[in-house]
Amino acid sequence: MKVIVIGAVGTIGRAVVEELAPRHEIVTAGRSSGQVRVDITHIDSVHAMFEQVGKADAVVVAAGGLHAGPLAEATPEQLAIGLQSKLMGQVNVALAAQRYLNDGGSITLTSGILSTEPLRNLVNASMVNSAVEGFARGAAIELPRGLRINVVNPTVLEESMAAYGPYFIGFEPVPAKRVAKAYSRSVDGLQTGQIYKVW
C-alpha cells in the first residue's frame, strides 16, 4: 500500500515510518520537512498534498500543536491553538482524504492519554484529544467507499520524558516503537471508529 505519514520527522512519526516501511510504500509529509510539504491547518494545503502524492491507500497524522499553561491565565486565542492545529488540522486531513484515498483506505489520527487523564496546565490537550476521538467515532459511520478511520491514543513517550516528565509524574512512559504498533493495527487492519490506547 501507499501510506502518507504526516509529521514523519517527529518522535512518533519516525517510529511509524520505521514500523510501516518494511511492508508499504511510505510518503513522508510535513510543514518543513519530508518528501511533500503540507500545513494541515490550511485545507488548501492538504488538498495540494494529496494532489501531489496521487492516489494513496492510507494516511497517518502524527502532527499538531497545543497550548500549555494555567487555565486561570488562558485566553481564547491560546486555547484556539490546539483547536486550529491538532484538532482541525487532523479533521482537514480526514475531510480531504475522502476524495483521494482508494476504496477501503484508512485514516489514522492521533489523540493522547489526556483525553481521559487530565493534568494541570494541559486543559487544551484534554479538550482537543477528546474532540479528535469524538470526530473519528462520528466520521466512522459516514465515510464512503469502505474508508476507515481510527485514532491512536498514546501516553507519554519514553523518548519525551526529558521534556514532558514533570507533567507526567506517576505515569509509566512507553517507547515510541510500541506506540507505532497501534498505527499498524489501524493501517493494516479492518476496524473503524476505534481508539487504540497505548498506555
Percentage of residues of the chain with pLDDT beyond 90 = 100
Number of domains in the chain: 1
Percentage of residues of the chain with pLDDT beyond 70 = 100
**pLDDT-based confidence at 101, cuts 50/70/90?**
very high
What pLDDT score was predicted for residue 166? Answer: 93
Give the tens place of pLDDT for each residue, 22-71: 999 999 999 999 999 999 999 999 999 999 999 999 999 999 999 999 99
What pLDDT score was predicted for residue 168? Answer: 96
What pLDDT score was predicted for residue 119? Answer: 96
Mean pLDDT computed over 166-177: 96
**Other Cβ atoms closer than 10 A to 197:** 16
The answer to whether the pTM exceeds 0.75 is yes
**CATH code at position 121:** 3.40.50.720
Closest CA to 41 of 55, 56, 31, 33: 31
> Which range marks the domain in which residue 24 is found?
2-198
* Average pLDDT over all residues of the chain: 98
What pLDDT score was predicted for residue 161? Answer: 97
